[in-house]
Amino acid sequence: MIIRPLTNVLAAAAIGASVAMSAVSHADMLDLDMPAIKESNLIFPADMEDWLTRAGLFSWHPVNARLGHHPDRPDPNDTNPDDGLDPGVIYIFPDGATANAWWDPVADPNGMPDGIPDTAVAYIHWVLDNRSGQFPGIMAIADDFNFKSNNCIMSSGEEIPIDVNGDGIYNEADGGVTQPKTCSNPQGASKRFKMVVLKADAPIDLVFNMTRGRPLEFTNYEKLVDFPAEDWFRIYRYIMKFGNGTATDTVMLDGTPVQNNGDRIVSISLELGGYDLDAGVAAFQAAPADLTYELQLCIEDKYFDKQRSATDPQNDCANFGDPDTNYTEVWLDYEYATFSPVMYSLTTDKRTTPLGGYWDKYPAGVNPPQSETPTKIDSGIGPYLNTNYPYDQNGAGQIGQTTTNYFDISAAQAAGAVTTPNMFGYLMYYGVFADGDPGNVAMGIYRDDDGDPSTEGTLHAWWDGSSPTCCFRWGIDPDLDGNDAGTSIDPNAWGILSDAELDEIAARPLAEDHVLAPPRYEFGYMDDLAGLNMDTFIRFDKDFDVEANPQIAIRFVARSATAAGLGASDPGVADGPWVANPVPVAEEFFDEVVPPGGGSSGGLCSYSPEGRFDPLLPGLILAALAYLGWRLKKKKAK
């Protein structure tokens, strides 16, 4: 990315009409209704039929989306057994015709098919860690003045719980106090909507309704009236998490089951386009004029009507450009598509201070992009480039932009401790966890430091499968003391857990429905290693023609290793050793599946406390792991 100063006025973000106007000279700005994505945070569809029949009222248009069932997604918010939402996900189809071929809710309101449709390319769910999610799963918010870019596309819901007692956990101890769900909710408040890819190399289109938004008003700066009106625009931050669910077994329209073995994901792209349903054009088109991505890193803060401190340590633009001007950080390519900060982050990251990431004290992901254009951002399938990525000093020879501290931890942060080449490789995949199909995702032990099953644990150790009988291994910070890997690595980092340590873990299982004296432990799949957080910024210029473009679309494509020309023998494509050597099978095991685990950031498939098992005897915990290893082996033998 080229970072360049602003030599003229580039933009002014929208500030809502609810802020009082203080200067008469700004009156001409009040007549400027900016284009916006329709807001639906105050009204949500009752069910799939209602969503379709009133499709134009909501942020997300359901032309190619249909409600369906998924074994991994029970909805703890739903209490009505007759509304079809328990469990519920929204399946995304290539187009409206394919969606209707699977199910037309208007013509057949009671005929939702069972099974995961083979014609779907992805699904989105609204079951969130803090119970703030609501059908259908995505909404847009405009003019949230406390949010950096003022506007966002995020997970749908009306309210979130407030952490009243300040313990960093949203639970009953906070007394049920809530606040409206919006862009500026604190980090960890389940703002990201969660999409799981079912088909690699296939376009996934999300369609949004457009409208004319509120007029612009400015209160912190007095001379915006002198700025050229043609340069104003509204910026939306796209807050999303996606997972690689390409190993999910599906069902054809005639009921024929389809086994999907899963695809490694090499790269991802996001593209903006048109989708004019009012004109009968129910297909992705080239992006209309005045719709682009915002690709600049720093923009003067007056365009957001904010006055930010140039000395703010969290402001990456504090020393950018004119020393007498404050700037706001907008686009940052190093955060294009990253793993959970609990997994990979600096010790100075405010989300994980003072510990940093479990696997590395540097961020990791599929970033930065290899190419950026006004309407498309792509991490590519060319040779890996690390010249613009300061946290990645060891080139691993891979293609695309999978950072080497994820691609090959044995060559980067765990040299000498983890000897398997390309330990994680390209983005791993999973299937239906409830069916015992974790794909090639490894398993971990999670530690719960408050003993409360309604809260999430943190990753404590993982099964690396380095031999048929070994091993549970630490990550980079087994002692949780926050040492920075760049200066002083913990003495036990990447070490193997002893039998005594495993016995202690086995003796302290987490209960399902009541609090026990901490610490407590549970086992789960490390689904965060098969998912990425993604942030991009969509820009609507003042002259965007809403009447001619009543809908826009965001097209997402996940490219497989196969499409990139890679074979099974290429580095980063083979399964990790834990697949060939799952946890050894024991004589006794639970006939249950451990729900997917998630660190404190919340995994794509994490939910709590429903579905957690409650071991009765210490030794049975490891037996449960053995069973899961056996189920994984069964899947591979199909």
Report residue 575 CA to chain centroid gap.
23
Distance CA 482, CA 429 (A): 30
Query: Is residue 382 predicted with pLDDT exceeding 60?
Result: yes
Instruction: Give the pLDDT confidence of 534-559 residue by residue, as tens digits.
Output: 999 999 998 899 999 999 999 999 99
Enclosing H/E stretch for 78: none
pLDDT per residue as tens digits for the range 95-120: 999 999 999 988 886 678 889 999 99
**Residue 20: which pLDDT band, with cuts at 50, 70 and 90?**
very low
Reduced to 3 states (helix: H, G, I; strand: E, B; else coil), residue 526 is: strand
Lowest mean pLDDT among 63-67, 72-76, 600-604: 600-604
- Per-residue pLDDT of 336-348, as tens digits, reads 899 999 999 888 8
The DSSP code for 600 is T
3-state secondary structure of 505: helix
Residue 334 in tokens: 């190093």
In the predicted model, what is the mean pLDDT of residues 318-336? Answer: 79
* Whether pLDDT at 21 is above 90: no
Angstrom distance (rounded) from CA 58 to CA 141: 11
Residues 6+ positions from 216 with CB-CB distance below 8 Å:
12, 14, 15, 29, 30, 32, 34, 232
Given a cut of 80, whether residue 22 has pLDDT beyond it is no
For residue 60, is pLDDT > 90?
yes
Using alpha carbons, select from 99, 96, 95, 77 the residue that is nearest to residue 86.
77
Query: Is the N-terminal amide bond of 609 cis, ω within 30° of 0?
Result: yes
- For residue 304, give the 3-state DSSP assignment: helix
- Residue whose C-alpha is closest to residue 515's, from 457, 439, 452, 437: 452
Q: How many CB atoms lie within 10 A of CB 41?
A: 22
Q: What is the pTM of this model?
A: 0.86
Residue 538, pLDDT score: 96
Q: Using 50, 70 and 90 to split pLDDT, how confident is the model at 595?
A: very low
Among positive and negative, which fits the CA dihedral 78, 80, 84, 86? positive
Residue range 384-411, pLDDT digits in tens: 887 666 667 666 678 999 998 899 888 8
Identity of the amino acid at 7 = T
H-helix or E-strand spanning residue 629: helix 618-637
Q: Is the pLDDT of residue 195 over 90?
A: yes
Residues contacting residue 106 through CB under 8 Å, at least 6 positions apart: 49, 52, 53
Secondary structure class of 168 (helix, strand, coil): coil
- How much is the pLDDT for 220? 66
C-alpha span between 16 and 437 (Å, rounded): 47
